[in-house]
Structure 1
């Protein structure tokens, strides 16, 4: 399972458990809190009624005549009171009064309990002892909705408790408020939990996002060696990313050295063998002309070794760079014109014409020195493989967000077998006029310069003969 989902599920399970217990506690506590509020109101009412009875007393027996009149009148009252979700249309409160022995002398419920002995019931029993008396009793022992709260207050006469007045209220109305409150709590909790799940998912994305970007970077470095390190923040992931870059550079450096030494050794074998052979022959007797020819061979092969080493160092300098340092606006038309003028000496005796045409104001951001080297190698190749009395055209065009340099020649073209290897280091085709090969590093350098500028290079055979080299460069820096 992906770490993103592990983090998300971990958050969901922990928060879900927390929400479950919290909602369970709050929902269960609603009834208790409402019951407490109801009991407070019943205490007030019981004591008010006890005060009314005490006002009318002329003997130790509680005076209940006024209570009887009040409750007889309240039963005939018709009203409609909208209390939030409850519509109340009758008085639900029951009041009964006992004497000091616990015998009921008044019951507002049509005298249902009058004459009954309630001295054993907690509300009466505790109140007669001078304590707070209250109880909750179910009319139907199997149905909690039939519970009734009873709260009592003492009736005093000449400083002594001579009776008890109890106020009773059913919980049926209270249950309606409890159920509605619980329903709202559950709806709110479910909505909050879904919101928390969404936040948990976003947090998991925030945590694993840098990991995913680092993974994609690690997978792509083989195909895009100059791809920059993605944005990883400033924490541990950034440190890990930089460590990965350092490790990649170290591994690439080791592999590069191995490959370069092998390739360079292979390339130097030919010139060194030629020099050694010529030197051995020079120890023998020969005429002056033959000796001069062998000396020229040694000089030519020495120049070839120097060219290979110089170009290899130049290529290595470009390959080890990850970004451009000296970025300026480079006019490609002026650069192409300057390069063709510099290389005019190479085709002076072959009647080859180099012309530059196209967008004269086409400019791209880049390193002018490196771009000049790239153009120089492309034009040198075109000159080397062009027949005498031919024309090489450097054409500059603008394509959307790219500046494009086309170098067109009229040579023999690139054989099919060489097309896939043309940009490999040390790979070279024999020149048509001399049969000799170059160092094979020029086009490799062009490719590295193009990649460093986030551009591309392509070579294709032209339908009417020759080759077209296309260098594409972005018009704006990233």
Structure 2
């Protein structure tokens, strides 16, 4: 759940950054649009001034160049000498940088506020070319090759008796606008970061207040699923507290129902086969009395099979119902292993199995429940015997380590466990066919082993060996 919160916050942050970044990118175009709009007005005002002078003195139409020079030369010379201090927001402006040139109807410059353009043919430049065509003339380009930013060129037509006789272009170097754009960007980012920080703080506080009880409840439900025993947490919110208790009760009821259903179904399935065999044997005894001895053995074997299944189910249910057991017995592991191996001697001989023992010298002791540890070792050893091939070797190794750990390893040379089955071998009722007879077991042996070892805080590891065989390793913490 915490991960989801961080994912949501990450997505929100990315979206917020995208919005801010796109808005920041739009500052420059918006500034340039504002400058262009102002220059357009300025250009039309100045061209209108020229047109008025032509109306006042029509003869000047044929002295167009001298007219515009008389009109603009001295004002531009004057403005270049003028110094002033204009604090525009946080920036100080000390001189005017606006420029202007005027072309005739052929596009040749007849006046230039900077002097260097006069006489040049500008008829191919968009501001002059488009204006002479009766369109809106504008371009953005460099004034000099060394410039990086260039300038905005906004033109307007000069008309005499509805005929375009020239073009007046106002120029604004972008270098004069850049400081304002950068200042606006910096201010925008400062405000955005302040807003983002405030949102992050508020979001974190709300997430902590809102989601912490939900996280506690989620962790508690996870612990129930993992069968960890922890007390119900204090959630602080009545509705969540009530919900948690209801979920707790529901989980307990569902687990109990599932537990009973699973046991009943498995018991029914497992008992069905031996019962059918018993019933069939009884019928055959009635019709073939001479087969009584053989059929009686079959009935006895199947009855013992049912009895063993019931005993295992009862034992497993008893173990699963315990959170802890008394671990007061001092267990001599080597003696216990010798005792268990002696009990299996007949089965070893029946399959011609060899037993290799590798025990550390001296006494290896641990605290635990000796009856349960014996049962676990027997189940592991029985599995090895059932899956081993005739004349195979079963190795039993017991090693005590320096860090108070005891390793018990039982391995065989029989068939390996399929990869898909390795994670399931300790699950209740999961069983694989034996190599001889292909009959499956009840699937409870390793489940009982796992429950016993969990009660002893021991670690169980099952892995395949190369080229074949299985190793079962038990790690006891002998504190």
Q: Structure 2 length as normaliser, TM-score?
A: 0.49
Q: Which one has more relative contact order, counting CA pairs under 8 Å at least 6 apart? A: 1
TM-score normalised by L of structure 1:
0.49
User: Who wins on radius of gyration, i.e. which is larger?
Assistant: 1
